[in-house]
Chain A
Amino acid sequence: MTDYAAIIPIVIVVLSAVAAMLAEAIRLPGERMPIYGFGLIGLVGAAVASLFLWNTDAHSFFVIRSDNFALFINLVLCVIGILTMMFSNDVVEREHIPAGEYYALTLFAISGMMMMAAATDLLVIFIALEILSLAVYVLTGIRRESPAGSEGAFKYFLLGAFSSAFFLYGIAFAFAVSNGSTRIEDIGRALSAQATGAPPMLALLAVGLLAVGFAFKISAVPFHMWTPDAYEGAPTIVTAFMSTGVKAAAFAAFVRVFLSALEPLQVHWIPILAVVAAATMILGTVVGVVQSNIKRMLAYSSIAHAGYMLLGIVSANSAGKAAILFYLLSYAVTNIGALGIVALLGTAKHQHDELRDFSGLWRTRPGLAGLMTIFLLSLGGIPPTAGFIGKWYIFTAAVQEGHYALAIIGVLTSVISVFFYLRIVVMMYMTEGADVVRPRISRMAMTGLGLATVATFYLGVLPTRVLDVALDSISTIF
């Protein structure tokens, strides 16, 4: 029985996805059904299960391990999922997104993400990656009448398939290095056994190819090309979900593979990832400046944020690992909040995602404008919000390891990023109102936004508890 403990959260989410599918099947045409309820129940259940599993370090089938690290990611994913569900009911109806498919795919994607965070075998990571990727490809193009959506989904799918192939190839080399095992532990053991002298070519190839696979999923430069198109083409609520969820899962596996199994090869991959991190931060912010579509802007901003989190991996110390966990959480609540507002203001006819659509929002919807401002300031890393503590933690980790240059690039790009976040603020507060009809927002969605705001301030003012938990959860595995 103990074999099954570690997969309980995943199973709960899968069951709720199945329930959503069944509900869609028995739903009469035109009947309104709160399918998101299944999602909420499943995600809350998964979160509770994760809390119960805390400190148990349960293993399942030797490939799934719910240590505190995986559980922390689980909780982050539950937060992401719950917020998404709370916004979805408004949006799905308004934008004519097929409800049953949408909820089921989102929940399946979350199950894949959880599995990815908990997997201790490269092959299982690959399977989890495919589960979540396929769901997200479909979600990106779920509005079939939208050409932009189809374009984004197709690009995402093609490039994603390539990167999966790279990843698989990397697994093959790792398999060779470790004398016939794809387990993370075995690979780590094999590598540290040969730590003296130059590492075999195969090991370096494995590192490189695995890094490409992860870099694609976290949209690091130069594997970021799909991001703006996919984020812009997808329904905004899906953008909110995938910009946070996929990132959380991919970073979890990235950290687990690179900072445990491949740690002996640190000297070889740190310089490469350092360059990637710098390029990602710079490109994300600089290109973000010239965007006039908010979804594209936030897509580039998410690239930049991936760069900041990469700094945590490059630092490769315990502060860096914990910083990534904290950053994932703070980025999740703020980015879902910001994109959630964009999603909630959109309709099927009008996406409400151009910069000028936001002009004068303050006059008509002061509350929403205020919340949006808080989320944007947090994304820009201005105190006293979650984003500030997250960035501060990451830069602390980098400075601790002497990566001053990277830290300086990081802070300067955050200043530039403040510029484009402020462009939205300028639109909302300082220009005359646009002629846009903005839909009403349900109480449920407002509650979700409220929760995200509270979390943003909580993480920004009293982060101690979460920081301690993050530190504690990385200490269990590395």
Chain B
Amino acid sequence: MLSVIVFLPLAGALLVLAAGGRGDRHDREPLVRGLSLAVSLVTFAATLYLWWRFDPASADYQFVEQRAWLPAFGIQYLLGVDGISLFLVVLTGFLTPLALLSSWAAVHKSVKVFCFFLLALETALLGVFVAIDLFLFYLFWDAVLIPMYFLIGIWGYERRIYAAVKFILYTMAGSVLMLIAIIGLAWAYSAANGAPSFDLRELHTVTLPWAMQKWFFLAFALAFLIKVPLFPFHTWLPDAHVEAPTAGSVILAGVMLKMGTYGLLRFAFPLFPDAAHVFAPWIALLAVIGIIYGALVAMVQPDLKKLVAYSSVSHLGFVVLGLCAVNVQGVQGAVYQMVNHGVSTGALFMIVGMLSDRRHTRLISEFGGLKAVMPRLVAAFLLITLSSIALPGTNGFVGEFLILIGAFRWDPRLTACAATGVILSAVYMLWMFQRVNYGRVTNEKNRGLPDLNAREWGMMIPSAAVAIFMGVAPALFLRPMEPSIVRTIARIEGRMPATARASQPGLGARGRPASREPRATSDEPRATSHEPRAATSEPRATSCERRAAASDKKI
């Protein structure tokens, strides 16, 4: 089942390549486009079927496929999906057809190869989310880079080569260190159990000495944080986004950034819980800096695409903050927000793409008064903008609200700072929206631009519908997530050592008689400072609710 979903796009990609004929044949373009769209839609249907068959009460990996692959190293072909990855799989399935549609007007150069890379990219992304063997995960993780590199480098805008190379080098530099850590982890397992294993479920049983755990965690975290991208590792993102074709941006923002946050939640935190406890506050601090910094930089961008790109830095900061809180609300909100961000930012990039298809510019100053010219497009734009700034009733609200609750229970100071990001996001998004769409038509070129056509309706309706649906019926999504999230949190927190191993009390250590080692004493002050606050977090949660609600009303 999972293998079919993962490799269906790749098979389709090869088929498309074959159907495209030799060279760059324009007469085959409709065939190629139709075929690739069909493949991506079938894949999407398959992911929906997966969701339908998914047992929401179970925390285990479901639809597990297990086959020996490189038995000498304990490497397996091991796929499985749980509540955390399920929606990311569905999101990938959802966004790929939209990305294909968004390229119909913009891409005319070698359509065949474009569709090939986009579908190959889908396979790699799906693989990342369903692989639970670390080696296999790394394989897919690296394989993602290649199609994206070509998508940016061939079909991008002016500085595409620079952006493509920067993109691939940044992300690779982070991930190769993770490779070393993965190998080290497998051999640590081998030292304890006699044979190496890359099975995530098995690796949870390894207990690592602190020194190893620290370095391995940092290697994993670096790979993921570059991908997220967390401040100050974010510099590749604006370049990649601005130069990428619309379809590339949609996938990049919609799905690829989630690989980083997914990796943190799935691998870095649960595999190295002690290190996670120590480093999480620092990561959260960076996340909060990123939230505010991203928002402030977004505010002053003259380029629509760059604005949306920096808004991603800000939004993803929320996700990381929620993850660092390591409690059910925070993590649930983070996972929810991953999906939200995929839907709303994906749609924003599509809209920017539509504008730039029409005007061949993305500068905010070139637009103005579009409401009078293209009322339907602006209506869709408004809805997506509101979803992006987390208006109640849209998907963004649910995610950010949960994250803030969860984070508040953990560290109110950081959360208070982060909450300003909510306000700032309203500022930059609405200001941009106003400058682009309201007022008089100041630029003659904007008169007579065509409104949404059927294809664009086909992109906007699903995005808007999902954004609202996720806003009014979050339980449908949150329920299947919960068991897996609860288990993951238990794993991160529950592994407080009872042995003579170095112990690192931290974040969620409240109410547990943590054993104190000499090594741990240096961290004790920080731990104790958390505990009383955590104990009183329940009453304060309501004030957080009030404040979050208030900040939303201000909008």
A residues in contact (CB < 8 Å) with B: 366, 377, 382-384, 388, 392, 395-396, 399-400, 404, 407-408, 411-412, 414-415, 418-419, 422, 425-426, 429-430, 463-464, 467-468, 471
Q: How many residues of B contact A (CB 8 A)?
A: 32
**Least Cβ–Cβ distance between A421 and chain B, in angstroms:** 11
Contact of B168 among A396, A411, A422, A464 (CB under 8 A): A422
Q: Are A415 and B179 in contact (CB under 8 A)?
A: no
Contact of B71 among A377, A407, A464 (CB under 8 A): A464
Q: Are A418 and B169 in contact (CB under 8 A)?
A: yes
11 extra A-B contacts, CB within 8 A, seeds A382-B143, A388-B139, A411-B176: A383-B139, A384-B139, A404-B180, A404-B184, A407-B183, A412-B173, A414-B176, A418-B172, A426-B153, A430-B153, A464-B69
Contact of B177 among A396, A411, A468 (CB under 8 A): A411
A65 to B71 alpha-carbon distance, docked (Å): 31
Q: Are B70 and A463 in contact (CB under 8 A)?
A: yes
Q: Are B183 and A382 in contact (CB under 8 A)?
A: no
**Least Cβ–Cβ distance between A465 and chain B, in angstroms:** 10
> Given A400-B187, A412-B173, A463-B70 in contact, is the A419-B165 Cβ separation under 8 Å?
yes
Q: Are A468 and B72 in contact (CB under 8 A)?
A: yes
Q: Are B168 and A429 in contact (CB under 8 A)?
A: no
> Given A384-B143, A429-B153 in contact, is the A464-B169 Cβ separation under 8 Å?
no
Q: Are A426 and B176 in contact (CB under 8 A)?
A: no
In chain B, what residue has the closest Cβ to A322? B72
Q: Are B161 and A396 in contact (CB under 8 A)?
A: no
A430 to B154 alpha-carbon distance, docked (Å): 5
Q: Are B179 and A395 in contact (CB under 8 A)?
A: yes
Contact of B146 among A382, A396, A415, A419 (CB under 8 A): A382
Q: Are B142 and A415 in contact (CB under 8 A)?
A: no
**Least Cβ–Cβ distance between A16 and chain B, in angstroms:** 36
**Least Cβ–Cβ distance between B85 and chain A, in angstroms:** 20
Q: Are A419 and B183 in contact (CB under 8 A)?
A: no
> Given A382-B146, A384-B139, A463-B70 in contact, is the A419-B161 Cβ separation under 8 Å?
no
> Given A382-B145, A400-B187 in contact, is the A415-B180 Cβ separation under 8 Å?
no
Give every chain B residue within 8 A of A415 (Cβ-Cβ): 169, 172-173, 176
Contact of B70 among A407, A414, A419, A467 (CB under 8 A): A467
Give every chain B residue within 8 A of A429 (Cβ-Cβ): 150, 153-154
> Given A382-B146, A407-B180, A468-B72 in contact, is the A426-B172 Cβ separation under 8 Å?
no
**For the complex, would chain B's binding face be called helix, strand, loop or mixed by DSSP majority?**
helix
**Least Cβ–Cβ distance between B167 and chain A, in angstroms:** 11
> Given A395-B180, A404-B184, A430-B153 in contact, is the A422-B69 Cβ separation under 8 Å?
no
A464 to B176 alpha-carbon distance, docked (Å): 22
Give every chain A residue within 8 A of B160 (Cβ-Cβ): 430
Give every chain A residue within 8 A of B142 (Cβ-Cβ): 382-383, 388
Give every chain B residue within 8 A of A467 (Cβ-Cβ): 70, 72
**Least Cβ–Cβ distance between A216 and chain B, in angstroms:** 30
B23 on the A face (CB < 8 A): yes
Q: Are A411 and B179 in contact (CB under 8 A)?
A: yes
In chain B, what residue has the closest Cβ to A416? B169
Give every chain A residue within 8 A of B70 (Cβ-Cβ): 463-464, 467
**Least Cβ–Cβ distance between B73 and chain A, in angstroms:** 7
A422 to B176 alpha-carbon distance, docked (Å): 17
> Given A418-B169, A426-B161, A429-B154 in contact, is the A399-B139 Cβ separation under 8 Å?
no
A-facing residues in B452-493 (Cβ within 8 Å):
none
A-B pairs with the 7 shortest C-beta distances? A411-B176, A383-B139, A399-B183, A415-B172, A430-B153, A415-B173, A396-B183
Give every chain B residue within 8 A of A468 (Cβ-Cβ): 72
A468 to B72 alpha-carbon distance, docked (Å): 8
Give every chain A residue within 8 A of B150 (Cβ-Cβ): 429
Q: Are B180 and A408 in contact (CB under 8 A)?
A: yes
Most buried by B among A408, A411, A468: A411
Give every chain B residue within 8 A of A377 (Cβ-Cβ): 146
Give every chain B residue within 8 A of A396 (Cβ-Cβ): 73, 183, 187
Contact of B72 among A383, A395, A422, A464 (CB under 8 A): A464
Q: Are A399 and B176 in contact (CB under 8 A)?
A: no
A430 to B169 alpha-carbon distance, docked (Å): 17
Q: Are A392 and B179 in contact (CB under 8 A)?
A: yes
Give every chain A residue within 8 A of B149 (Cβ-Cβ): 422
**Least Cβ–Cβ distance between A415 and chain B, in angstroms:** 5
A414 to B180 alpha-carbon distance, docked (Å): 13
Q: Are B165 and A426 in contact (CB under 8 A)?
A: yes
Give every chain B residue within 8 A of A419 (Cβ-Cβ): 165, 169
**Least Cβ–Cβ distance between A376 and chain B, in angstroms:** 11
**Least Cβ–Cβ distance between A286 and chain B, in angstroms:** 14
**Least Cβ–Cβ distance between A371 and chain B, in angstroms:** 14
A425 to B69 alpha-carbon distance, docked (Å): 31
A87 to B548 alpha-carbon distance, docked (Å): 69
A-facing residues in B363-420 (Cβ within 8 Å):
none
**Least Cβ–Cβ distance between B172 and chain A, in angstroms:** 5
In chain A, what residue has the closest Cβ to B185? A399
14 contacts between A and B (CB under 8 A): A384-B143, A388-B142, A396-B73, A404-B184, A408-B177, A411-B179, A412-B173, A412-B177, A422-B165, A425-B153, A426-B164, A426-B165, A429-B150, A464-B69
**Least Cβ–Cβ distance between A276 and chain B, in angstroms:** 21
A425 to B154 alpha-carbon distance, docked (Å): 11
Per-residue CB proximity of B120-162 to A under 8 Å, as 1/0? 0000000000000001001100110110011001100000110
Q: Are B176 and A412 in contact (CB under 8 A)?
A: yes
A429 to B110 alpha-carbon distance, docked (Å): 11
> Given A415-B176, A430-B160 in contact, is the A399-B184 Cβ separation under 8 Å?
yes
Q: Are A411 and B180 in contact (CB under 8 A)?
A: yes
**Least Cβ–Cβ distance between A278 and chain B, in angstroms:** 15
Give every chain B residue within 8 A of A463 (Cβ-Cβ): 70
In chain A, what residue has the closest Cβ to B136? A383
Per-residue CB proximity of B43-87 to A under 8 Å, as 1/0? 000000000000000000000000001111100000000000000
A19 to B32 alpha-carbon distance, docked (Å): 53
Give every chain B residue within 8 A of A383 (Cβ-Cβ): 138-139, 142-143
**Least Cβ–Cβ distance between B124 and chain A, in angstroms:** 10
In chain A, what residue has the closest Cβ to B113? A366
Q: Are A399 and B168 in contact (CB under 8 A)?
A: no
Give every chain A residue within 8 A of B72 (Cβ-Cβ): 464, 467-468, 471
In chain B, what residue has the closest Cβ to A413? B176
**Least Cβ–Cβ distance between A372 and chain B, in angstroms:** 14
A422 to B139 alpha-carbon distance, docked (Å): 19
A411 to B69 alpha-carbon distance, docked (Å): 24
A297 to B138 alpha-carbon distance, docked (Å): 28
A429 to B139 alpha-carbon distance, docked (Å): 24
Give every chain B residue within 8 A of A392 (Cβ-Cβ): 135, 179, 183
Give every chain A residue within 8 A of B135 (Cβ-Cβ): 392
**Least Cβ–Cβ distance between A461 and chain B, in angstroms:** 9
A425 to B72 alpha-carbon distance, docked (Å): 35
In chain B, what residue has the closest Cβ to A414? B176
**Least Cβ–Cβ distance between B345 and chain A, in angstroms:** 26
Most buried by A among B71, B150, B176: B176
Give every chain A residue within 8 A of B180 (Cβ-Cβ): 395, 399, 404, 407-408, 411
Give every chain A residue within 8 A of B168 (Cβ-Cβ): 418, 422
A395 to B183 alpha-carbon distance, docked (Å): 8
A426 to B160 alpha-carbon distance, docked (Å): 10
A407 to B215 alpha-carbon distance, docked (Å): 14
In chain A, what residue has the closest Cβ to B187? A400
**Least Cβ–Cβ distance between B221 and chain A, in angstroms:** 16
In chain B, what residue has the closest Cβ to A423? B165
A418 to B170 alpha-carbon distance, docked (Å): 11
Per-residue CB proximity of B184-197 to A under 8 Å, as 1/0? 10010000000000
